[in-house]
């Protein structure tokens, strides 16, 4: 049981380039989400999904797209990278997004630098 995995661990992009951050979980969790972590700002929710085929925006969604074609995978796409997107990105999952209060598990993170 690998838990939540993320690739790549580190990436450097030039302004305007696009890329996809990969996230996968093997716990059969319905709920998955993406956060960005910036110094002094904690973890901010970018997008989330409560199941395959269902996604919605968090508090900082601009510049990012997501899709959820399978229960296991939840990729985050940067359409045209900007220096403001330099951050550490964490994927997280939990059993469901419903009324049950469950532990949320985080992946190891992807450190992104946009020049």
Asked whether position 78 contacts another protein by CB under 8 A, the answer is no
Residue from 90, 93, 112, 114 touching another protein (CB under 8 A): that is 90
Asked if the bond preceding 8 is cis, omega within 30° of 0, the reply is yes
Distance CA 113, CA 67 (A): 23
Residue from 18, 108, 113, 115 touching another protein (CB under 8 A): that is 108
In the bound state with another protein, the residue whose beta carbon lies nearer, of 17 and 37, is 37
Q: Which residues in 16-35 contact another protein (CB under 8 A)?
A: 31, 35
């Amino acid at each position: 049981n690998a838990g939540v995995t993320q690739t790549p661990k580190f990436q450097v992009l030039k302004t305007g380039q696009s890329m996809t951050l990969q996230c996968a979980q093997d716990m059969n969790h319905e709920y998955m989400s993406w956060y960005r972590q910036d110094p002094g700002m904690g973890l901010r929710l970018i997008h989330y999904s409560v199941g395959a085929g269902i996604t919605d925006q968090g508090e900082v969604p601009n510049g990012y797209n997501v899709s959820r074609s399978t229960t296991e995978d939840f990729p985050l796409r940067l359409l045209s990278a900007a220096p403001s997107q330099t951050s550490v990105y964490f994927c997280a999952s939990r059993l469901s997004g419903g009324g049950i209060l469950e532990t949320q598990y985080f992946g190891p993170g992807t450190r992104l630098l946009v020049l």
